[in-house]
Amino acid sequence: MAKTKTAYFCQNCGAQYAKWIGQCTSCKQWNTVVEEVVQKEEKKAWKASSSTLQKATKPLLVRDIANDKEIRLNTLDQEFNRVLGGGLVPGSLTLLGGEPGIGKSTLLLQIALKLSYKTLYVSGEESQKQIKMRADRVHPNSENCFILTETKTQNIFQQIVALEPDLVVIDSIQTLHSDYIESAAGSISQIRECTAELIKFAKESNTPVILVGHITKDGTIAGPKILEHMVDTVLQFEGDRNYVYRILRSLKNRFGSTAELGIYEMQGSGLREVNNPSEVLISKNDQDLSGTAIAATVEGMRPLLLEIQALVSTAVYGTPQRSATGFNAKRLNMLLAVLEKRAGFKLAAKDVFLNITGGISIDDPATDLAVIAAILSSNSDIAIEKGACFAAEVGLAGEIRPVQRIDQRILEAEKLGFQTIYVSKNNKIGLKKTKIQVKLASKIEQVVVELFG
């Protein structure tokens, strides 16, 4: 019997060593190197037909490469298509990461069930009965979706050869194991080997494959970074589990932009696509509430109107509390310092809480002015005039700075029936005539006077 071979792998970056070391020399992380059994054999799980194996590719002039019209597999899910850049590219590998329970399995099962192509959904996490129960909830009558509960890649490929599906979904890559590697499922070498086998299969059969990837505590996809390098597209599914909204982002996309964003709402019957996000994210409250302001933001390429809530109260303890949900806490501190220094508001002895409703987190600097407006409104207990929204960054000198894509923001606000929008004086506005009143400001004092008199 062959001697078992072992090697040492860094669990952070995937670097391989012959012996154990305390600090990985390539990524400089401590205590990440662990021993794993590797036993490579020559033959691989996915065997291509001999004709493709022998065909070595020759270099070609770019202009001679056949430019077939790009065909993409329409997933019938507008949000998913948008994030992918127009649908799944044949032969591509897509990795979907996200925290446990966020809805990765639900999203992919839902897509697989809806498609009119033959799809194979491979699960290493749930039994066929469990998946059936979920399928009945999200899309009861599906004609073309096959469910396989298997974790061994060799067996999966056997079924794929027999079934010839048009789309393969693997839930999840961390549960797969290949016979050619000895170490446990979920280990670096297993993940790498299984992904490599799947890539080979995808490229040779021109079938798109979607993988589910678990996320570690610090928010990165479990397994080596190389997993992200190996696949064509990396998507991230995020959101607060206690809220119903989920955001699908693309972190890497070889076939499209990474600026796109998809929004879903988790319902009892699966995930619903949210095509008009601004309408659902703003509460339709008729009462005048102090401490809320609407920000006209842009996430990726999409304009998005968000409601920002602030609560300012007298600090009970010596050190005031500052807490922000969905907004960068450091930025909040900076804005408070600006208010203190430039606009003369005494907030040093006040607790300030900030919340972006809907469980969405945002890092568009154009929310600054709305955050300031919400804080001042709560501080003075005066509601902001109805139908007003904000789109501007605030600088350290208290100046109101221009933001990108201002026309898009103004149009979205107008579409949703807002009457006024506060923007920077220095923003170049391309729009000629707008129903919405655009108020230009260059300093926060000006906005304060406008809003609170």
- Judged by the rule CB under 6 A, the positions of this chain that interact with ligand TYD are 98, 100-106, 134, 137-138, 266, 268-270
Say how far apart CA 170 and CA 72 lie, in whole Å: 20
Nearest residue (CB) to Mg ion, 123 versus 427: 123
Contact (CB, 8 A) for 235 and 247: no
Neighbours of 76 (CB within 10 A): 14
Neighbours of 7 (CB within 10 A): 15
In DSSP terms, 297 is beta-bridged to 304
Q: Cα angle at 247 between 244 and 253, to 5 degrees?
A: 160
Nearest residue (CB) to Mg ion, 104 versus 177: 104
> Which of ligand TYD, Mg ion, none does 134 bind, CB closer than 5 to 8 A by kind?
ligand TYD
> Which of Mg ion, ligand TYD, none does 108 bind, CB closer than 5 to 8 A by kind?
none
Q: Cα angle at 130 between 129 and 133, to 5 degrees?
A: 85
Regarding 105 and contact with Mg ion (CB under 5 A), the answer is: yes
> Which of Mg ion, ligand TYD, none does 302 bind, CB closer than 5 to 8 A by kind?
none
> Which of Mg ion, ligand TYD, none does 22 bind, CB closer than 5 to 8 A by kind?
none
> Which of ligand TYD, Mg ion, none does 106 bind, CB closer than 5 to 8 A by kind?
ligand TYD
Residue 232, CB-side half-sphere exposure with 13 Å CA sphere = 21
- Could you write out the DSSP letters of every residue in 266-280? EETTEEEE-S-HHHH
Q: Tell me the one-letter amino acid at 24.
A: C
Length of the chain: 453
Nearest residue (CB) to Mg ion, 106 versus 189: 106
CB of 169 to ligand TYD, least distance (A): 12
Q: Using CB under 5 A, which of the segments 75-83, 104-112, 339-347, 410-418 binds Mg ion?
A: 104-112
> Which of ligand TYD, Mg ion, none does 430 bind, CB closer than 5 to 8 A by kind?
none
Say how far apart CA 272 and CA 261 lie, in whole Å: 15
CB of 74 to ligand TYD, least distance (A): 22
Q: Using CB under 5 A, which of the segments 9-17, 98-106, 131-139, 176-184 binds Mg ion?
A: 98-106
Say how far apart CA 65 and CA 52 lie, in whole Å: 18
Closest residue by Cα to residue 334 from 295, 375, 387: 375
Q: List phi, psi (to 5°) of 25.
A: -75, -15
Closest residue by Cα to residue 247 from 115, 98, 94, 408: 98
CB of 89 to ligand TYD, least distance (A): 24
Nearest residue (CB) to ligand TYD, 138 versus 298: 138
Q: Tell me the one-letter amino acid at 252.
A: K
Nearest residue (CB) to ligand TYD, 105 versus 187: 105
> Which of ligand TYD, Mg ion, none does 269 bind, CB closer than 5 to 8 A by kind?
ligand TYD
Nearest residue (CB) to Mg ion, 32 versus 105: 105
CB of 109 to ligand TYD, least distance (A): 8
Nearest residue (CB) to ligand TYD, 262 versus 291: 262
CB of 171 to Mg ion, least distance (A): 6
Nearest residue (CB) to ligand TYD, 135 versus 451: 135
Closest residue by Cα to residue 233 from 38, 442, 89: 89
CB of 211 to ligand TYD, least distance (A): 12
> Which of Mg ion, ligand TYD, none does 453 bind, CB closer than 5 to 8 A by kind?
none
Helices 153-163 and 188-205, interaxial angle, to 10°?
20
> Which of Mg ion, ligand TYD, none does 270 bind, CB closer than 5 to 8 A by kind?
ligand TYD
Nearest residue (CB) to Mg ion, 105 versus 379: 105
Q: Cα angle at 219 between 239 and 97, to 5 degrees?
A: 65
Give the CA dihedral 276, 280, 281, 284, nearest 10 degrees. Answer: 130
Binding residues for Mg ion, rule: CB under 5 A, are: 105
